[in-house]
Structure 1
Amino acid sequence: MLKVGVFVARGVCRVVLNGELDVETVAQFKEVVGKIRECTLEVDMSGVSFIDSTGLKSLLDINNEWRQKGGKMLILRPQPDVAEVMRLVGLDRLLEQSTAPAGEEREE
């Protein structure tokens, strides 16, 4: 199960995910992101407890689509287990990540 919240403020669209990002929930995630237009896209993954290869690919696909439109996607606060999976497959080098949303002080 996946809960998806969307918050928009000052040119930033934050998609907050809670639950599992996997083969059963990725379509829901992509549908929500598909409705978002012209903003910096932040994907808050602090509530994602599990991610599979389908979820990882969806992040890469969305990032590529967003960049083709001239936008920017930022992954926020992935859980340690999720961050480790992203690191193991090399997504940490392909997707920009941060511990703080745009406009807030960052710990880098």
Structure 2
Amino acid sequence: MLKVEVNAVPGIRRVVLNGELDMVTVALLQEVVKKEDEHTLELDLSGVSFVDSTGLKGLLDINNNWQQRGGQVLILQPQPDVAEVMRLVGLDKLLPQIGALDGEER
């Protein structure tokens, strides 16, 4: 299961995720994000305990769509295991992470 909460401030949408981001739940995230239209999209992954390849591809697709509209996507506070998976597949180079393993932006 995945719980998605959207918080809005001018110019930014923060989407807070809790649960697992996988082939079953990624469509929910994509559906929620599709409705947003601010310049910056922050995906708070502090509550994501697991991500599979489908979840990673979903994050990449969201990033690509957002960039095509002239916006940016930031990943906030991924759990250490999630940040490590993102690093291993090179996604950390495409999606800036804030509050990752070492607490620094990457």
TM-score bracket, shorter-length normalisation? over 0.9
Aligned partners of 2:6 and 2:13 also within 8 Å? yes
In the alignment, the residues of structure 2 paired with residue 39 and residue 85 of structure 1 have an alpha-carbon distance, to the nearest angstrom, of 27
State the number of aligned residues: 103
In the alignment, the residues of structure 2 paired with residue 18 and residue 38 of structure 1 have an alpha-carbon distance, to the nearest angstrom, of 22
Question: What is the CA distance between 1:99 and its match in structure 2?
Answer: 1.9
In the alignment, residue 40 of structure 2 is paired with which amino acid? Answer: T
Unmatched 5+ stretches in structure 1:
101-105
In the alignment, which residue of structure 2 is the partner of 1:10?
A: 10
In the alignment, the residues of structure 1 paired with residue 38 and residue 83 of structure 2 have an alpha-carbon distance, to the nearest angstrom, of 27
Deviating above 4 A after TM superposition, structure 1's stretches of 4 or more consecutive aligned residues are: none
In the alignment, residue 4 of structure 1 is paired with which amino acid? Answer: V
In the alignment, which residue of structure 1 is the partner of 2:34?
A: 34
In the alignment, residue 34 of structure 1 is paired with which amino acid? Answer: K
In the alignment, residue 87 of structure 1 is paired with which amino acid? Answer: R
So what's the TM-score if we normalise by structure 1? 0.91
Unmatched 5+ stretches in structure 2:
none
RMSD after superposition: 1.4
Question: What is the CA distance between 1:10 and its match in structure 2?
Answer: 2.0
Aligned residue for 2:32, secondary structure, equals: helix
So what's the TM-score if we normalise by structure 2? 0.92
Q: What percent identity do the matched residue pairs reach? A: 70
